[in-house]
Amino acid sequence: DVKVTQSSRYLVKRTGEKVFLECVQDMDHENMFWYRQDPGLGLRLIYFSYDVKMKEKGDIPEGYSVSREKKERFSLILESASTNQTSMYLCASSFSAAGIYGYTFGSGTRLTVV
């Protein structure tokens, strides 16, 4: 069974901390995505990557950065966590960037910044 694994289900961090969210996929997908999900707003794209060391900004990249050193791993970095970054973070991967065959999502990381 194909999987996207996010390293933590729940995280609590302090304002100003540097936070790393890790995502690993075992499907040899080229494309990986980071979304955040907030009530009433749906999923919003933060960053995506279509190849190792390649990245593109999504709709809300401010305050975030990403790293993709290996094909299977895509990391989201909060440089200096703030309370407005409290959210559910979802990682996804796909064979096709268009998601024609559907994105495969991880179970999410619920981040609370206090």
Q: Which residues bind other proteins (CB under 8 A)?
A: 4, 31, 33, 35, 40-45, 48, 50, 58, 90, 92, 97-108
CA gap 28, 45 in Å, rounded: 21
Q: Kindly tell me which of 3 and 18 has the beta carbon lying closer to other proteins.
A: 3
- Nearer to other proteins by Cβ, of 30 and 72: the residue is 30
Closest distance to other proteins from the beta carbon of 109 (Å): 10
Cβ at position 44, least distance to other proteins in Å = 8
User: 87 and 37 in contact (C-beta within 8 Å)?
Assistant: yes
Q: How far is the CB of 105 from other proteins (least distance, A)?
A: 3
Q: Please give the biggest Cα pair distance in the chain.
A: 39
> Based on CB atoms, which residue is closest to other proteins, 14 or 40?
40
| Residue 85 identity (one-letter amino acid) | Q
70: which residues sit within 8 A by CB, 6+ positions away?
52
Residue 104 · residue 6 · CB < 8 Å:
no
